[in-house]
Amino acid sequence: MKNASIQLETLTCPSCAQKIENAVKALDGVDKESIRVLFNASKVKFSYDEAKVSVHDVENAIAALGFKVL
Amino acid sequence: MKRFILGRKNHIVLISAILIAAGFFCALALKNTAAADTAFIIASILGAAPIAIQAYQALRVRVVSIDLLVTIAVAGAFLIRNFEESAVVTFLFLFGAWLEQRTLTKTRSAIRELTEMAPESALKQMPDGDFREVAVEEVDAGDILLVKTGARIPVDGTVLSGEGSVSEAAITGESLPVLKGRGDKVFAGTVLDNGTIRIVADRVGEDTTFARIIELVEEAQDSKTKAERFIDRFARYYTPAVLVLGMLVLAFTRDPELAVTILVLGCPGALVIGVPVSNVAGIGNGARHGILFKGSEVISALSRVDTIVFDKTGTLTLGNPEVTEKAYFGEDIDRALVYLASVERESDHPLAGAVLDEIGDTVYRQVTDTEVIKGRGIIASVDGHRVAVGNAALMEREGVEPGTRAKTEIARFEKNGDSLVLTAVDGELKILMGVRDPVRPGAKEVLQKLKRLGVRNLVMLSGDNQGTVDAVGRELGLTEARGSMLPEDKAAYIRKLTEKGRIVAFVGDGVNDSPSLALADIGIAMGGGTDAAIETSDVVLMNSDICRLPHALGIARATAANMRQNIAIAVGVVLFLLAGVFFSEWMNMSVGMLVHEGSILAVILNAMRLLQYRLKK
């Protein structure tokens, strides 16, 4: 398990945070309990299994929702 | 395609604004309804596209979002051929979101300013002895770095050589530079104002004090109070509930206009964002002033504090005791001083340092059979003599009977607020020293400010004797001052206060008062970057100066009040809109959306006031 933190564009609605959380949760290899979307810092923190998923995959999943990954 | 549309939201806002203006111009000035409708239709479709995409994406991850309410409302308006309303509503919604993003960025600016102080490069000593510029990630603990005038110190380290003044604003919020020389600790993110120093890296990357502060503040800004968690849960069910309500209204009244209006009015914007936005601004203001709040729960508790308990040493006083008075009894005083110094040299008691400073250079003797008696002092053998160094209780235990002159001196010293260090050699009192820890400059003003802020009880606890404690208590104007307390007594005292229903904050230096810090409703640590202080407390005063305490209390109060105002605004707006639907003629979707977006901006702007908050003189 490795920890990662992704910086996003400014998040404006708390429901965005929930959307992102659910989208990241849906990915296999991400520890569901560890996902934390920091609304104010506009960051996503999680731990993941390198063998199953990469940070890049998570970034793509978030970008597909229409949020810019910085 | 989706990304293309979402990425161009700003352009869409602009184009629909122009189209809507054109539409109104056609309708009102040219009386050309067909042209006006065309403009409104294009604006509606263009504006609805990004909202609908967002709604769909949210639905896919099983979230019923505001976007969905707006999409359905717009579609409804479109179907009943109310193109003007559908165009205006989509525009207002998108424009509102854009404004919110701009203003929210502002409320978060305090913390961003902090992160921008993160160092990026370092001058690292290479194996060949030269210093070369590298990225800060390439520095490991143990590396030797050169820091020149004007540069940011890249890591936490210790000065090896050189001297310079360092501005530590990033860490302590203190703008006055601090002089650093060989052996001093320096922190990542601080700036060397002048001079050149060589340092050895102690902690790098995420382990530096600076990185941990940022992490703490970020986590704190996103921590939630009970009320907030309630609102979040509420919002999760609220949005679908509004959708159901809209359908019910349609089913019963057969009035699609009213149904879509309900959908727009029901958007829970200001309520959801009002509390977090106050929180973020308040914590940001604190961080800028060297005050770390470890969460929004902390802010709401601190705002209600009615009792502040201070640990005396290092908090209200400087923590550098000095000998202020002394008296000698009998013969052979020089020898007794040598014995005293020899015994004290082995002690790490705070008073020992003061005694040694007073005696100065001397020849030390071999000390054996040292016995430390907790809360009293030390007994040891020096040159075959039994030497007792400690307080009056130790003398009593040793059976040392002070003479008449000694008794009057002891009484006089105690009355002056001194801690007593008595030295007896072979059961005979030789030396009496009075040690005092000077009160921190400004401490009195701080306490007065706290009183004016409405803190009713200001209590000081100390391990020193009651006389000392009373003297400091009188000088500072405390409501209560208790001496002779061991760490466990302090903790028990705090427990008693909280059981009485008082909301208690404990202020300590985080060194040996962790139980009290943990037991109090709010633990406030004076920690110039010490790990213990950061870990155990709820609030950290970064520059170890209680002068920040009134500001901490003030901003906590202001933030708590701000949250209440925002909740009031949000609830008030919803009530106002509902009343509008049922009791007035002029309420429609566009007005509803305008008021809704206006209320969101109102709570954000209200929270922004916190960034400017300063304690009134």
Which of A14, A22, A36 lies closest to B273 in CB terms?
A14
Within 10 angstroms of residue B513's Cβ, the number of other Cβ atoms is: 29
Distance linking the first and last C-alpha atoms of chain A? 23
Q: What's the gap in Å between the CA of B145 and the closest CA on chain A? A: 28
Asked if B63 has any chain A CB less than 8 Å from its own CB, the reply is yes
Domain count across chain B: 2
Q: How far apart are CA A1 and CA A29, in angstroms?
A: 9
Please write the tens of the pLDDT for every residue from B131-142. Answer: 888 888 888 888
Which pLDDT band, with edges at 50, 70 and 90, does B533 fall under?
A: low
Q: What is the pLDDT of residues B366-410, one digit of tens each?
A: 888 888 887 788 999 998 899 999 988 889 888 888 888 988 998
Q: Which residues of A touch B54 (CB under 8 A)?
A: 66
The last residue of a domain, from among B385, B402, B436: B436
Smallest CA–CA distance from A64 into chain B, residue: B3
Map residue B385 onto helix, strand or coil.
Answer: strand
pLDDT tens by residue, chain A, 70 residues: 888 888 888 777 666 777 888 888 888 888 888 888 888 778 888 888 888 888 898 898 888 877 888 7
Interface contact flag, A41 B111, Cβ < 8 Å? yes
Cα distance between residue B57 and residue B333, in whole Å:
87
Q: Chain B residue closest to A23 (CA)?
A: B61
Write out chain B residues lying below 8 Å of A66, CB-based.
Answer: 2-3, 6, 50, 53-54, 57
The two beta strands, B307-311 and B185-186, are: unpaired
Better pLDDT: B459 or B297: B459
Q: Which residue has the higher pLDDT, B125 or B528?
A: B125
Query: Which of B436, B459, B476 is the last residue in one of the domains?
Result: B436
Question: Under an 8 A CB cutoff, do A66 and B57 touch?
Answer: yes
Q: Which residue has the higher pLDDT, B189 or B115?
A: B189
B108 at the A interface (CB within 8 A)? yes
Q: Is residue B489 part of a domain?
A: no
Residue B41 lies in a domain: no
pLDDT at residue B540 is higher than 60: yes
Note every long-range contact of A20-28, with CB atoms under 8 Å and residues 24 or more positions apart, other chains counting: A20/A44, A20/A62, A20/A65, A20/A67, A22/B61, A22/B62, A22/B63, A23/A61, A23/A62, A23/A64, A23/A65, A23/B61, A24/A58, A24/A61, A24/A62, A26/A61, A26/B61, A27/A53, A27/A57, A27/A58, A27/A61, A28/A52, A28/A53
Interface with chain B: mutation pick from A5, A7, A13, A45, highest number of B CBs within 10 Å? A13
Report the candidate in B111, B133, B130 with the shortest Cα–Cα distance to residue B122.
Answer: B133
Rounded distance between C-alpha atoms, residue B66 and residue B242, angstroms: 10
Question: First and final CA of chain B: distance in angstroms?
Answer: 57
CATH number, domain with residue A57: 3.30.70.100
In the block, which residue shows the tokens 């030295």?
Answer: B423
Kindly indicate the confidence band of residue B617, based on its pLDDT and cuts at 50, 70 and 90.
Answer: low
Average pLDDT over residues B43-54: 89
Residue range B63-104, pLDDT digits in tens: 787 888 889 888 888 888 888 888 888 888 888 888 888 887
> What residues of B are in contact with residue A10 (Cβ under 8 Å)?
101, 104-105, 108
Query: How many separate domains does chain A show?
Result: 1
Give a yes or no: residue A50 inside a domain.
Answer: yes
> How close B557 comes to chain A (CA, Å)?
21
Which residue in B495, B461, B496 sits closest to B481, CA to CA? B461
Is A35 domain-assigned?
yes
Residue pairs spanning A and B at CB distance below 8 A: 73
Would residue B103 count as lying in a domain? no
Read off the pLDDT band of B579 (50, 70, 90).
Answer: confident
Please name the member of A14, A41, A64 whose beta carbon is closest to the beta carbon of B221: A41
- In angstroms, the separation between the Cα of residue A38 and the nearest Cα of chain B is 6
Among the partner-chain residues A18, A40, A64, the one whose CB lies closest to the CB of B276 is: A40
Residue B92 contacts residue B594 (beta carbons within 8 Å): yes
| pLDDT-derived band at B529, boundaries 50, 70, 90 | very low
Range of the domain at B385: 322-436
Of A19, A36, A40, the CB nearest to B280: A40
- B574-603 mean pLDDT: 83
* Residue A36 resides in a domain: yes
Collapsed DSSP state (helix, strand, coil) of residue B38: helix
CB contact under 8 Å between B63 and A12, yes or no, is no
Q: What is the CATH number of the domain that holds B377?
A: 3.40.1110.10
CA distance A51 to chain B (A): 24
Q: Angle at the Cα of A36 (from A50 to A26), degrees rounded to 5? A: 60
| pLDDT at B531 (0 to 100) | 64
pLDDT value at residue B614 = 85
Residues of B in contact with A64 (CB under 8 A): 2-3, 57
Does residue A70 belong to any structural domain of this protein?
no
CB contact under 8 A, B58 and A39: no
Q: Average pLDDT over chain B, rounded to whole?
A: 85
Interface with chain A: mutation pick from B63, B243, B293, B566, highest number of A CBs within 10 Å: B63
Taking CA atoms, B173 is separated from B178, B292, B558, in Å, by 12, 10, 20
Between B63 and B435, whose confidence is greater?
B435
A9: in domain: yes
Residue B252 predicted with pLDDT over 80: yes
Tell me what the mean pLDDT of segment B339-362 comes to: 84
Q: Is the pLDDT of residue B105 over 70?
A: yes
In percent, the amount of chain B with pLDDT more than 70 equals 95
Residues of A in contact with B7 (CB under 8 A): 68
- Tell me the three state secondary structure of residue B100: helix
Burial of B241 (0-12, 13-18, 19+ CB in 10 A): middle
Average pLDDT over residues B471-497: 87
Q: Do A65 and B108 count as a contact with CB atoms less than 8 A apart?
A: no
Instruction: Please indicate whether residue B311 is annotated as part of the active site.
Output: yes
Q: How confident is the model at residue B435 (pLDDT cuts 50, 70, 90)?
A: confident
Is residue B575 very low, low, confident or very high in pLDDT (cuts 50, 70, 90)? confident
Q: Does A43 map to a domain? A: yes
pLDDT at B422: 93
Give pLDDT, residue B504: 93
Q: Is residue B351 part of a domain?
A: yes
Residues 6+ apart with CB under 8 A from B347: B372, B378
Active-site entry in B311, B464, B509, B538: B311
pLDDT for B173 equals: 65
Q: What is the mean pLDDT of residues B233-255?
A: 83
Q: Tell which of B139, B172, B203 closes a domain.
A: B203
Strands B428-436 and B185-186: unpaired
Average pLDDT over residues B176-193: 86
Range of the domain at A29: 2-64
Band of pLDDT at residue B528, cut at 50, 70 and 90:
low
Q: What beta strand segments (E) does B320-413 contain?
A: 322-328, 367-373, 377-382, 385-390
Residue of A nearest to B270 (CA): A13
- Judge whether residue B503 has pLDDT over 80: yes
Q: Which two tokens stand for residue A49?
A: 């299994």
Q: Chain B residue closest to A27 (CA)?
A: B61
**Inside any domain, residue A69:** no
Which chain B residues are closer than 8 Å to A68 by Cβ?
A: 7
Distance CA B369, CA B382 (A): 9
Are A64 and B111 inside 8 Å of each other by CB? no
Helices (H), B29-82: 33-60, 66-79
Residue B186's CATH number: 2.70.150.10
Beta bridge mates, B373: B377
| pLDDT, tens digit, 9 for 90 and up, residues B285-317 | 988 888 888 888 888 889 999 999 998 877 888
Residue type, B280: V
